[in-house]
Amino acid sequence: MDQNQALPAQGSDNNQQGDQNNQSMESLLATEDIGVDMPQTGEIRKGVIASISQSQILVSVGAKSEGVISGREIEQLSDDERELLKVGAEVHVYVINPEDENGNVVLSFRRAQEQISWENVEKMVGEDRVYDSKIVGFNKGGLIAMVGGLRGFIPSSQISASRRSQSSGDTPEQRWQKMVGQPITVRIIEVDRERRRLILSERAASTESRQSLKERVIDELEVGKTYTGRVTSLSDFGAFVNVNGADGLVHLSEISWDRVQHPKEVLEIGQEVKVKVINIDRDKKRIGLSIRALADDPWKSRVEKFAIGQLVEGVITRLTKFGAFARLEGDIEGLIHISEIADHRIEHPKEALKEGEVRALRVIRIDTDQHRIGLSLRKVDSGAYADKDYKKLIEEFGHTSSDEADTPSEESGS
């Protein structure tokens, strides 16, 4: 009887020990997971080829398991691309799926090469460099050549006069077919990765030394002066404008006082524009230009109606960790820093404010150069602004009665 009573106790000990082992294993696995830098979709990683077969290539990318490049992609690779894929070789790969239904990290070699190529040509645009390439194809609008591993388009208007003189016929085949395979020297004039658009120019890659020309132009240009130029290329970060034979950069922020997402919204290649020289870096041979500097700043005229200490009405538009934004009259947006929301400490503006609500606010700072207005909610009833508020009321509603006029003096003890 005693032995039978002891058996459950022994089983209980075994269960407890099993639970402890399971917890230890889970803890160990969790610790291992923390140390693994898991791949993310769209990420480009450097890996090492672990094995190659006809159906797949396994690449070690620092995950818990090796990533897979499918056999279908291997079949689509060119001979030159296959040459790069050897066991032990370091390669860049694009993460298509960090974990498929089989638990594999799905990778692409070709997409990684393409992404890196786009990043490279984005850096090349606007440079005073020319690229030796080869004509690999054509369409009805012009020729196609390779630059940085990407197919670039050379519009017929950007093909040199000497090459155009060799073309004849009514169809693209008659005009351009015989030029396929010929060498060509080009310059990048436009890059748009989203639209997969790479525009090249043979005309812009003239035999004249562009470097010596730019040096001469830099010596002639003066900061603060206005010149007429022509747009030569567009990129995500700005537009290049040729002034007196040398290209200068109009940064995206210097194109317009209005918000511009991409230069193509307001500019076209070949367009004539007036620009102001805002800086010249003679060591790096860079010219900084501005289009918006020649236009009146609309923000300054809209903000003239506001003054420091003024009470205003604002609509709360956004809440962030550091404060809240409020839209004032004239679509001017100001910031209520988190320290200006309440007299007591708060962790987040949502504790005191809601998006869409209308609140009385105090203007405490105006920075015309940076286009910023500082607002305060906690200073709305501040005694420091009592005189200013009283004078504003008199201005808006006219002189008060003698009794009302005496009130502030009585309150102040006079």
Sequence-distant (≥ 6) Cβ neighbours of residue 354 within 8 angstroms: 316
Mind listing the domains of the chain with CATH numbers?
Answer: 44-115 (2.40.50.140), 125-201 (2.40.50.140), 211-294 (2.40.50.140), 299-388 (2.40.50.140)
Quick one: angle between helices 402-412 and 386-397, nearest 10? 180
State CA 391 to chain mean position distance: 47
| 175 touches 169 (CB < 8 A) | yes
Give the residue-averaged pLDDT of 398-410. Answer: 46
Distance CA 280, CA 151 (A): 34
| 178 touches 172 (CB < 8 A) | no
Among 171-175, 223-227, 393-397, the minimum mean pLDDT is found in: 393-397
- Per-residue pLDDT band at 330 (split at 50, 70, 90): confident
Give the residue-averaged pLDDT of 297-325. Answer: 88
The model carries a pTM of: 0.43
Distance CA 148, CA 44 (A): 18
Q: Higher confidence at residue 253 or residue 400?
A: 253
Give the residue-averaged pLDDT of 78-93. Answer: 84
Instruction: Report residue 330 as tokens.
Output: 């004239």
Per-residue pLDDT at 46 exceeds 70 = yes
pLDDT, residue 389, reads 65
pLDDT, residue 65, reads 66
pLDDT, residue 254, reads 93
Distance CA 131, CA 411 (A): 81
Which one, of 310, 203, 206, 286, lies nearest residue 238 by Cα? 286
- Per-residue pLDDT band at 63 (split at 50, 70, 90): low
Among 15-29, 318-332, 336-350, the minimum mean pLDDT is found in: 15-29
Per-residue pLDDT at 3 exceeds 60 = no
- Share in percent of the chain as helix, strand, coil (round to 5): 30, 35, 35
Give the residue-averaged pLDDT of 105-129. Answer: 83
Distance CA 249, CA 256 (A): 14
pLDDT, residue 13, reads 53
- Per-residue pLDDT band at 126 (split at 50, 70, 90): low
pLDDT, residue 8, reads 47
Distance CA 222, CA 309 (A): 41
DSSP string, 79-140: HHHHHT--TT-EEEEEEEESS-TTSPEEEEHHHHHHHHHHHHHHHHTT-S--EEEEEEEEET
Give the residue-averaged pLDDT of 391-396. Answer: 67
Q: pLDDT by residue (tens digit) across 203-255?
A: 888 654 556 667 778 888 999 999 998 888 888 899 999 888 788 999 999 99
pLDDT, residue 410, reads 38
66-69: long-range contacts at Cβ-Cβ below 8 A with a sequence spacing of 24 or more? Answer: 66/105, 67/39, 67/93, 67/95, 67/104, 67/105, 67/106, 67/107, 68/104, 68/105, 68/106, 68/107, 69/93, 69/107, 69/108, 69/109
Q: List, in sequence order, every residue forming a beta bridge with 29; answer none if it has no partner.
A: none
Alpha-helical (H) ranges within 296-401 are: 298-303, 386-397
The chain-wide mean pLDDT, for the chain, equals 81
Distance CA 268, CA 190 (A): 10
Distance CA 314, CA 326 (A): 5
Sequence-distant (≥ 6) Cβ neighbours of residue 145 within 8 angstroms: 133, 134, 135, 136, 151, 152, 154, 184, 186, 200
What 3-state class would DSSP assign to 32? helix
Instruction: Report residue 29 as tokens.
Output: 């696995």
Per-residue pLDDT at 77 exceeds 90 = no
Q: Tell me the range of 97-101, 108-112, 162-166 where mean pLDDT is highest.
A: 108-112
pLDDT, residue 5, reads 46
- Phi, psi (degrees; rounded to nearest 5) at 333: -110, 130
Distance CA 174, CA 50 (A): 49
Q: pLDDT by residue (tens digit) across 337-386?
A: 999 999 899 999 999 999 999 999 999 999 887 888 999 998 888 766 66
Distance CA 282, CA 370 (A): 27
State CA 84 to chain mean position distance: 32
pLDDT, residue 411, reads 39
Q: What count of residues does the chain have?
A: 414
